[in-house]
Structure 1
Amino acid sequence: MSLAFTDGELERLREYLYRQTGMWFGETKRYYIERRLNDRLAHAGVDFAGYMSLLRIDSDERQALVNAFTVNETYFYREEHQLACLGRDLLPDIVSRRLPGDKVRIWSLPCSTGEETYSIALWLLENWRMVDAYNIEIVGSDIDTHALEAARAGLYGERALARLPESVREGYFESAKRHRRKIIDDLRESVTFTHANLIDGVRLREQGAFDVIFCRNVLIYFDEASRLTAARNLYDRLTPGGYLCLGHTESMSRIDERFRVRRFDDAVVFQRPEDAT
């Protein structure tokens, strides 16, 4: 049986989630919150007060709650124009300051169930002729541990694959079984997946620095304060001269003025200046 929650209880949960993730769920999300909260209370076998006490001592339940509230809607070759920009403009600029064989690091955060991270690898293999000349490291990170498990498994339905050319589906995915295809092991093992929280700057530093970061369609769930925290953390994780790709409705120019707006034929992206310290 579903429980009804007071305004005060829901506000307490909203504030807790905000502190954990940077995402703010307003009153319009009341049903969304109540449904997921009821699921967690039923699983734990406690009432609301008991659940909030449980969160203080049970790290597994804290993670399960975060997992329950993340959004994982994505597919392969999403916002493909940014992948084109990566190959035509961003990487050529980056490697102009490197030697053949040097490492180039690309980060997909949040990576959800892996489609966007693998898309980067697929696009480069298919479209960037210099892909073998450099040591390309692609990392996908997310706050949702269930999504990371799915990303590592690399199993996808036809809806996720719909935008891929037939040659890519046939070349990089095993034959369909139960309406799902598995990405081939060579490609799956070439991508690393890690747990990360966009608003936790201390833990993000453990990921190192990146030349290109794809951080798409997550800042829309943040308020002004958490967007500013995220912007600072992303800036800090970029190498000088590195690039940040956001979702098409998102912009960094009004959040953190340190980023330089770069307009290319395929996309508008945000750059950490080369002379940044």
Structure 2
Amino acid sequence: MSRPRKAQALTADEIRRLGVFLHHRTGMIFGEAKRYYIERRIADRMAATGMRTFNAYFAHVEADRREVEQLINIFTVNETYFYREEHQLRCLSRSLLPGIIQDREPGDLVRIWSVPCSTGEEPYSIAIWLLENWPLVDAYHIEIVGSDIDTQVLLDAQAGDYGERALSRLPPDVVERYFEPSHDGQRSLIQDLRESVKFTSANLVDPASVAAQGQFDVIFCRNVLIYFDDSSRLLAVDNLYRSLHPGGYICLGHTESMTRISKRFSLRRFEDAIVYQRPGSDRDG
């Protein structure tokens, strides 16, 4: 057994430089309060690239777009599991979708976006939930898109392999229907379900990256805005606003409140959840 790699102590200025770099590219805040977290992850990347000092590694990052991607990947937070905040899934099938399809014909497109999607549990949960709980799921063209800034978790999501913890909230019969036994106690999502979700790379604080995803009827953007500062949070929310069709809905995490960030959305209280709606008659400037 090898010993854990010893993290190199970073100076206050090095922490600041890295924090500015990450904030500019992701909107997330990293500073002295997260020193241990930062030093461990930088030590891993320095070892992987053969760099002996922070300055050498940082120069490498600035010169290599691929290393920027790797650096961002190790600093993203990927805590998730199937059927997380299930009440919002109930709201989706009981309230949001029935309202959305009032002006649609059978066969019309309905788009749902999970961002950030991490390793895929959320967008796959949406697909499974609708198959299990929305009788009209086959009557419309449901497109589910999962997006994340972390390119490694997108690869994991596409692979569709999950352990016991990720599946622990799913009813046993649902696990049996949609997951096949794999290796080392893992289960693999059946191919039909893996093909039902499209995965893309997206950065919530990059307007072009968000615009490239198109517009959606429902967006699940849960438990990420809490990691942004005020300016990045507002930028992300403005990008999300433009990504919704007029009248579309956004679901946030249970500790997040859109009313503290932007007045552009209307708060809607449904039987199962509080969500936020883009007004249906507005016009973008």
* TM-score band, normalised by shorter chain: over 0.9
- Amino acid in the other structure paired with 1:61: E
CA contact under 8 A between 2:12 and 2:32: conserved in structure 1? no
1:20 to 2, 17, 25: 25
Counterpart for residue 90 of structure 2: 84
Whole-angstrom distance in 2 between the partners of 1:86 and 1:79: 12
Displacement of 1:176 after TM fit? 4.3
Q: CA deviation at 1:41?
A: 1.2
Q: What CA deviation, in whole Å up to 9, does each residue of 1:51-95 have, x standing for no partner?
A: 221112211100000001011110000000000000000000100
Paired amino acid for 2:54: F
Q: Check the 8 A contact 2:114/2:123 in 1, yes or no.
A: yes
1:158-194 Cα deviation digits (max 9, x unpaired): 1100110111100011124311000000110111000
Equivalenced residue count is 277
Structure-2 separation of matches of 1:218 and 1:116: 13
Is the 8 Å Cα contact of residues 16 and 31 (structure 2) preserved in structure 1? no
For 2:178, the equivalent position in structure 1 comes to: 172
Match of 2:166 in 1: 160
Whole-angstrom distance in 2 between the partners of 1:7 and 1:175: 48
Superposed displacement of residue 112, structure 1: 0.1
- Give the match's secondary structure for 2:187: strand
Per the normalisation by structure 2, the TM-score is 0.96
CA positional deviation for 1:3: 1.7
Deviations 1:128-155 (A, max 9, x none): 0010110000000000011000000000
Paired AA for residue 121 in structure 2: E
User: What is the one-letter code of the residue matched to 1:240?
Assistant: P
Amino acid at match of 2:9: A
Return the letter of the residue paired with 2:32: E
1:29 aligns with 2:34: yes
- Which residue of structure 2 aligns with residue 139 of structure 1? 145
The answer on 1:246 being equivalent to 2:252 is yes
Structure 1 equivalent of residue 136 of structure 2: 130
- What is the identity, as a one-letter code, of the residue corresponding to 1:64? Q
Classify the secondary structure of the residue corresponding to 2:117. coil
Give the share of equivalent positions with the same residue, in percent. Answer: 62
Q: 1:219 pairs with 201, 221, 225, which one?
A: 225
Which residue among 188, 191, 195 is the counterpart of 1:182?
188
Matched residues in 1 for 2:33 and 2:220: separation?
Answer: 29
Specify the alignment match of 1:45 in structure 2: 50
- SS of equivalent residue, structure 1 residue 275: coil
Determine if the alignment matches structure 1 residue 260 to structure 2 residue 278: no
User: Structure 1 stretches (4+) deviating beyond 2 angstroms?
Assistant: none
Q: Give the match's secondary structure for 2:110.
A: strand
Secondary structure (helix, strand or coil) at the match of 1:52 reads: helix
- Tell me if the contact between 2:112 and 2:143 (Cα under 8 Å) persists in the aligned partners: yes
Stretches of structure 2 that go unaligned for 5 or more consecutive residues are: 1-5
2:11 match? 6
Match of 2:3 in 1: none
CA contact (8 A) 2:15 2:32 kept: no
Which deviates more, 122-131 or 42-51?
42-51
Q: Which amino acid aligns with 2:111?
A: R
Structure 1 residue runs without a partner (length 5+): none
